[in-house]
Amino acid sequence: VNFRGSDFKGTNLSKSNFSMSSFEGADLSNCDLSSSNFTGANFRTAHAAGADMSFSTFSGADFSGSGLQKTNFANAKITCATFDQADLTGANLQMTDAALATFRNARMEEIDAYGSSMIGANLSGAILHKANLRGTDLNGADLTSADFTGAVLLEVSLTGADLSNADMHGTQIRRSDMIRAKTENVKK
């Protein structure tokens, strides 16, 4: 279904099936999209600030260039989804399954990704200032040139992750597993 450019601001779309639908450029601000299926959906350049997307499935969805400030993705499945150059400032990603998702050059300041799985995810060039990544699984993740200034990385698994050229100024990193992690030119 094509909802390109539609205005859904504040609408309740929970418990629905929108797999393979297009919401490109749509306004989904403050919508309730919880407990829904959006597998393979297109959200490129959509505006979804403050939306509730918790417990939904977005596997393979494309959020490139979208505005997702303070969006709630808690307990959502966003595996293989694309968030390149999206703005996720202040988003809730607690307990989210984001394995193999891409967040290249995304703004992720002050996100809360407590307990999330980001195995093999690509966060190269992402800005993660003051992000809470406590208990996050980043095994095999591409974190090259990511900016973790002031982020919390307690009890994080970084086995085989690539942190080359990452900025770690003021980062709290304790009780974390960094076996075989690449750390060339990390800024401390």
Instruction: Evaluate if residue 87 carries a pLDDT over 90.
Output: yes
- 7 in a structural domain: no
Work out the pLDDT band at 80, boundaries 50, 70, 90: very high
Q: What is the CATH number of the domain that holds 185?
A: 2.160.20.80
- 172 in a structural domain: yes
- 40 in a structural domain: no
- Residue 112's pLDDT is 99
Give the tens place of pLDDT for each residue, 99-130: 999 999 999 999 999 999 999 999 999 999 99
- Collapse the DSSP code of 48 into the 3-class scheme (helix H, G, I; strand E, B; otherwise coil) and give the result: coil
Give the chain's mean pLDDT.
Answer: 98
- Residue 188's pLDDT is 87
Q: How many CA atoms lie within 13 A of 58 on its CB side?
A: 31
d(CA 142, CA 148): 13
d(CA 54, CA 181): 31
Evaluated on CA atoms 8, 33, 132, 156, the torsion sign reads negative
d(CA 150, CA 76): 26
The identity of residue 140, as a single letter, is G
Instruction: Please list the residues that pair with 37 across neighbouring strands.
Output: 17, 57
- pTM of the predicted protein model: 0.96
The identity of residue 184, as a single letter, is E
- For 129, the domain range is 93-188
Mean pLDDT of 55-83: 99
The angle formed by the CA atoms of residues 180, 186 and 188, to the nearest 5 degrees, is 120
**pLDDT > 70 in the chain, percent:** 100
- 139 in a structural domain: yes
What is the number of domains present in the chain? 1
- Collapse the DSSP code of 103 into the 3-class scheme (helix H, G, I; strand E, B; otherwise coil) and give the result: coil
Mean pLDDT of 45-65: 99
Instruction: Evaluate if residue 155 carries a pLDDT over 90.
Output: yes
Q: How many other CB atoms are there within 10 angstroms of residue 9's CB atom? A: 16
